[in-house]
Structure 1
Amino acid sequence: MTNKQSTEGQPSIAKAALFGLCPQCGSKTLFAGLGQFADRCENCELDYSSFNVGDGPAALLVMVIGALIIILALIVDAAFRPPFWVHVVIWVPFTAALTVLFLRMAKAALLAAEHRNRAKEAGKDDVS
């Protein structure tokens, strides 16, 4: 017999990340600001502060978006040979916009995955 957690009524990780939904009840209560989690869900009282999202989403985005921007900048440079200031005007705002856009979704996805998998920090009781 397996001990599976019931996921009835819970949004998928992708849906929770895309729309900022509570991973337990599906209400749109995950964020209090642009990228800041609310303290708890106003609907089901799930405590968001008990989840440890950390800097994982930011580190991943820096690597992925950084690689994407470098590739795009090299393609534009090879095709058009614009002056350096054009690169700055194009890529700095584009990088900032992509980071802000995807950081919110990445943080929400990690929190939803932690909730779905009942992830927690290891303690003395977890050592065999």
Structure 2
Amino acid sequence: MVEEATTFSEPTARDVTLAVRRATFGKCPACGNGKLYRKYLKVADNCSACGEELHHHRADDAPPYFTILIAGHFIVAGVMMVEERFQPDYWIHLAIWLPLTMGLCLWMLPRVKGALVGLQWALRMHGFGGRDIHDPAEPTPEPIAPAQ
């Protein structure tokens, strides 16, 4: 029994900047038209516009870490400036910074997660490495004739 082998050429590079930008704004990293999320942080299984499979992502714990890292720099800088200039009581700090921190983190979290999903898609990580249905230049694999 002779099995038929298939050759694949090196996949074409995907535009990382474009994919990250699209996903940051909650759109499919492949086409930019379909929604990335079906709920607040629940990534859709497939793009509603192009059918790209999005369930491969492995964002897991990274988005909260990056969100806290980024938001923390803004909040701590604000706290330090307000304390230096006005020296308010601690309850005033809590009244200002606690809701501001929560709001900023809740606003940033889906954007950071989208950016990471877009990055994973563009770099073909975690199962996103299949044939690119959006690139007409990507060739269809051709079978190799069996050796006689």
CA RMSD of aligned residues (A): 2.4
**Aligned sequence identity (%):** 26
Q: Which runs of 5+ in 1 are unaligned?
A: 122-128
Q: Deviations over 1:50-94 (max 9, x none)?
A: 111111121111122123211210110110011111111111111
| Structure number with higher strand proportion | 2
Spell out the pairing of 1:108-123 with structure 2 (5 A cutoff): 108-120=114-126
- TM-score scaled by structure 1? 0.80
Displacement after TM superposition at 1:103 (Å): 1.0
Residue 80 of structure 1 pairs with residue 86 of structure 2: yes
Displacement after TM superposition at 1:20 (Å): 1.0
Q: Deviations over 1:17-50 (max 9, x none)?
A: 3421111122231011222212221122222221
- TM-score scaled by structure 2? 0.70
Report which of the two structures shows the higher radius of gyration computed on alpha carbons: 2
Work out the CA distance in 2 between the residues paired with 1:111 and 1:99.
18
Whether the 8 Å CA contact 1:21–1:27 is kept in 2: the answer is yes
Question: What is the count of residue pairs matched by the alignment?
Answer: 119
Match of residue 125 from structure 1: none
Which of 1 and 2 has higher RCO (CA within 8 Å, sep 6+)? 2
Q: Which runs of 5+ in 2 are unaligned?
A: 1-8, 128-148
